[in-house]
Amino acid sequence: MRAGPSQEDIRRHNLGALLRHVHLGGPISRAELTSRMGLNRSTIMALTSDLTAAGLVREELPRETGRAGRPSLVVRPESSRVYVFAFDVSPDRLAVARVGLGGLILDRREVARERDALALGELAGVLAGFARQMRRRTRDDTVCVGAAAAVPGGVRKGDGVVTFGPNLMVEKAVPFGEELGRRLGLGLPVSVGNDANLAALAEHSRGVGAAVKDLVYLHGDVGIGGGIITGGHLLGGHDGYGGEVGHIVVNPGGRACGCGSHGCLEAEVGERALLEAAGRFRSGQHGRDAVRAVVEAADRGDIVAQEALKRVGDWLGLGIANLVNIFNPEMVIFGGMLREVYLGSAAQVRSRLTLHAMAPQRERLRLRTSSLADDATLVGAAELAFAHVLADPLEVLARAGT
Ligand SMILES: [Zn+2]
């Protein structure tokens, strides 16, 4: 017979759950924690004391309660002291942020990236250099508890090896996390996740999809990635490559796709498809600004731009109808350059959904744009870096050397 959880297991679980409330929800009173967690007051007091002693939270008297009696102490994350490094590799940009517990971006650095200028392995040195510069500017009492990176490619489950990435010049498997960890030199493992998967988690924990348990997130850059959250959990698949919605086929025999197939959603809706349809595909003109320019031209009455958005909106709506029929999400979120594309083609997307999605699935469906916008992938990387802190707060702090 399997033994039940030990007292220590329960305490570790409760510490993590309490810290998660403070990390995601911000300052919260002990009284509120007692009611939300369904634990008694003395247990909450013991847990907050442990987290305070570890330097993860602090407790303060509330400013004004307006109520008689002894006020309940407010628990706040130690955002300026406990932090992680978040890295974001996107086709056109490299970003590094120092993110405090509670999700506060304390410091950030961004540089434009020339597509195809550096292979993924070489980027590790650039990113680690930025992080080291930031670290030199921190106070002595700060502690780095984790690091994670978002990449626009396939990340193998378990070891964070990037195995494919047409937009990253990945020709063979790259142990990106290991390389970044070595160059950072903090003695910390660096987790790696697919950018769209991490952006989905970010929107689910801090963005427009907060409190939504079933959502489909679509991320557009050069290609189209996705993150599917069902019942509050990210769908990873057997090897960690699940959710590649960019490669569902919407137009058999259609445009060639970087994956080797034809008529994938990415090939019909991606940046190149839109720019070509709008007669604006020229070398050196790409990225979000080029996509935005098509939407703005359509708004001004440019017929070619309007037709291009209609065409792309048709394929996008068809792809989403398939996803809605399979996953029955409460919300579909458009992120990256797909925010602009969706805003410029919402009527098309909706009419395709009406035609192809089953009525019970679409009746209560909400279509939304990402609220974290260009930071969704970076915020997602930060959340991945914090995940192990929330799983075992005291152990992680002890290892981080405090
Ligand atoms: Zn494809």
Mean pLDDT of the chain: 92
- Given this model, what pLDDT does residue 66 score? 65
**Residues 332/365, Cβ–Cβ less than 8 Å:** yes
Which one of 77, 108, 132 terminates a domain? 77
Using the mean position of ligand 1's atoms as its centre, give its distance from the Cα of residue 266 in Å: 6
Q: What is the mean pLDDT of residues 142-163?
A: 91
The answer on 216 and 360 residing in a single domain is yes
Using the mean position of ligand 1's atoms as its centre, give its distance from the Cα of residue 100 in Å: 37
CATH number at residue 164: 3.30.420.40
pLDDT in tens, 328-363: 999 999 999 999 999 999 999 999 999 999 999 999
pLDDT in tens, 86-127: 999 988 899 999 999 999 999 999 998 887 767 777 899 999
The answer on 390 and 288 residing in a single domain is no
As a whole number of angstroms, the distance between CA 357 and CA 106 comes to 43
As a whole number of angstroms, the distance between CA 198 and CA 180 comes to 18
Does residue 315 lie within any of the structural domains?
yes
Does residue 68 lie within any of the structural domains?
no
Using the mean position of ligand 1's atoms as its centre, give its distance from the Cα of residue 258 in Å: 6
Q: Is the pLDDT of residue 402 over 60?
A: no
**Residues 55/402, Cβ–Cβ less than 8 Å:** yes
Using the mean position of ligand 1's atoms as its centre, give its distance from the Cα of residue 247 in Å: 4
- The strand order across the sheet containing 215-220 reads 233-234, 224-230, 215-220, 331-336, 366-369
Using the mean position of ligand 1's atoms as its centre, give its distance from the Cα of residue 221 in Å: 14
The answer on 236 and 340 residing in a single domain is yes
Using the mean position of ligand 1's atoms as its centre, give its distance from the Cα of residue 262 in Å: 7
Which one of 42, 77, 112 terminates a domain? 77
b/e burial code for range 6-45 (CB count within 10 A of at least 16 → b): eeeeebbebbbebbbbbbbeebbbbebbbeeeebeeebbb
The DSSP annotation for 107-168 comes to EEEEEE--TTSS-HHHHHHHHHHHHHHHHHTS-TT-EEEEEEEEESSEE-TTT--EEEBTTT
- Given this model, what pLDDT does residue 69 score? 72
CB atoms within 10 A of CB 270: 26
pLDDT in tens, 65-83: 666 677 889 999 999 999 9
Does residue 202 lie within any of the structural domains?
no
The phi, psi pair for 100, rounded to 5°, reads -80, 155
Element (H, E) at 86: strand 82-90
Using the mean position of ligand 1's atoms as its centre, give its distance from the Cα of residue 337 in Å: 18
- Given this model, what pLDDT does residue 167 score? 67
Q: What is the mean pLDDT of residues 393-401?
A: 83
Domain count, the chain: 3
The answer on 387 and 364 residing in a single domain is no
Q: What is the mean pLDDT of residues 6-20?
A: 94
The answer on 309 and 267 residing in a single domain is yes
**Residue-range definition of the domain harbouring residue 50:** 7-62+73-77
Does residue 97 lie within any of the structural domains?
yes
The answer on 366 and 392 residing in a single domain is no
Q: Is the pLDDT of residue 384 over 80?
A: yes
The answer on 381 and 366 residing in a single domain is no
Using the mean position of ligand 1's atoms as its centre, give its distance from the Cα of residue 264 in Å: 5
- Given this model, what pLDDT does residue 122 score? 82
Helical segments of 207-270, H only: 265-269
CB atoms within 10 A of CB 180: 27
pLDDT category, 401, cuts 50, 70, 90? low
- Given this model, what pLDDT does residue 398 score? 84
- Given this model, what pLDDT does residue 67 score? 66
pLDDT in tens, 166-189: 667 667 788 999 999 999 999 999
The answer on 354 and 254 residing in a single domain is yes
Using the mean position of ligand 1's atoms as its centre, give its distance from the Cα of residue 243 in Å: 13
Q: What is the mean pLDDT of residues 39-55?
A: 95
pLDDT in tens, 272-316: 999 999 999 887 778 888 999 999 999 999 999 999 999 999 999
Which one of 18, 45, 77 terminates a domain? 77
The DSSP annotation for 308-364 comes to HHHHHHHHHHHHHHHHHHHH--SEEEEEETHHHHHHHHHHHHHHHHHHHS-HHHHTT
Using the mean position of ligand 1's atoms as its centre, give its distance from the Cα of residue 183 in Å: 33
The answer on 396 and 310 residing in a single domain is no
